Amino acid sequence: MPLPDPEVTPFGDSAALVQLDGPASAQALARELRRDPPPGVIACVPGLESLLVQFDPLVINEASVRQLVAARLGSAAVAGELPGRVCSIPVVYGGDHGPDLDDVARLTGRTAQDVIDAHATTELRVLFNGFAPGFAYLGDLPEAIRVPRLATPRTRTPRGSVAIAGAMSGIYPADLPGGWRVIGRTPLELFDPHRDPPAYLVPGDRVRFIVITAEEWEAAAREDNW
C-alpha cells in the first residue's frame, strides 16, 4: 500500500524533515529516493519516524523537495518485510562482558539465563543509526526484558558492549559514555572509516545474536578471526 501523506518541514537551509509513521516507511522512502536519485538530493537519512532529505539549495529548494516527496510516496510501497541483510553478531553474555545482566534479571523478575535466551532468540531490525558513528538502534525487544536506562550513565562504556534500554538494544561502536544496561559484548568491529559502508549495521538489516563463551572469543582473537 502507498505510504501515508507526511508532514515535510525545513531543517536548516539545505535539508527537509519528512515525518512518517514508523521506521519501515522511512526506510522504504529512503530506498525509493536512492534507487533513482533526483537532481540536487545529496543524502537520505532514515530515523524512527522520519526521513531527513539533504539537498543542494543551488539545485533544488525545500518546496521542490516537498513536491518530490509527495510524488515518490506512491512508489515507496511497504509490502511485507523490507529487504535487508541478516547479520549474525557473536556475543559473550554476563560476567565482565555484561556487568548489568544480573540487574536486568532482578528488575524483570527472571533469571540471567532467561534474559540471555530472550535476547539471543529474538531477531531484531536496525531501525536507524545515531548517537555515534556506527551505533545502530535495534528493535523491538520482548516485553519481558525491557528495562529503563541506568539512573546514572557511565562515563565509559567499552567498545562492543551489547546493551538494552526500553524496547531497544544497541551495540557501542567505540568506548563511549552511555546509560544503557550492558548485558554482553561482541568482538565485531561496528565502525571502520576505511570500510564501505563504514557502519557494519545499516537501517533495514536484521540482527541475530549468537551466544559464545569468553574462551571462544579469546581463542578467535588470538587468531584474528573476527
Degrees to nearest 5, angle at CA 196 with 195 and 200: 75
pLDDT tens digits for range 60-91: 988 888 888 888 876 655 434 456 789 999 99
Kindly state whether residues 69 and 158 are assigned to the same domain: no
Domain that holds residue 107: 86-222
pTM of this structure = 0.81
Higher pLDDT, 199 or 72: 199
Kindly state whether residues 34 and 116 are assigned to the same domain: no
Cα 37 vs. chain centroid, distance in angstroms? 24
Number of domains in the chain: 2
First to last CA, the chain: 41
Q: Where is average pLDDT lowest: 35-44, 72-81, 120-129?
A: 72-81
C-alpha to C-alpha distance for 167 and 150, rounded to whole angstroms = 14
Residue 78, pLDDT score: 44
Degrees to nearest 5, angle at CA 149 with 127 and 102: 105
